[in-house]
Structure 1
Amino acid sequence: MSEQSRIPRRTFFAGLGLVAAAGVAAKLAPESATSALENALSPQEPEGDSYRLTEHVKKYYRTTTI
């Protein structure tokens, strides 16, 4: 077998092993660490039914100016 065909195969299996290791690490991670990561990545919405300045409200305000 030529050296050119072995290199892509090795990199494929190395990448496959890396993905498998990352999946196992994510599965074994403590729940608090994964929930903290999810909370950090998601935008925080105000709680309750309070007023929110959204895009359609901003558009309405722009249409009412003289």
Structure 2
Amino acid sequence: MSKPTTPTLGRRAVFAGAGAAGALAAAAAVLPRSQEAAPAAKSEAAPASSGGYRLTEHVKQYYAVART
């Protein structure tokens, strides 16, 4: 009869891998991040008549129906 094969991935190997992954995650959290790119120039504010949010009658009706 042939000898039974042992599992290739043992319990110790799993715990060692989990410990290594945890150590890498902790190191990544502690290390400083790279500098962000400078923020882009701020765009000019849109004019007041640009068609933004308006409280029209159908919006008021929706709010009234949603409250009930």
User: TM tier, shorter chain?
Assistant: 0.3 to 0.5
Question: Larger helix proportion, structure 1 or 2?
Answer: 1
- Higher Cα Rg: structure 1 or 2? 2
The TM-score with structure 2 as length reference comes to 0.37
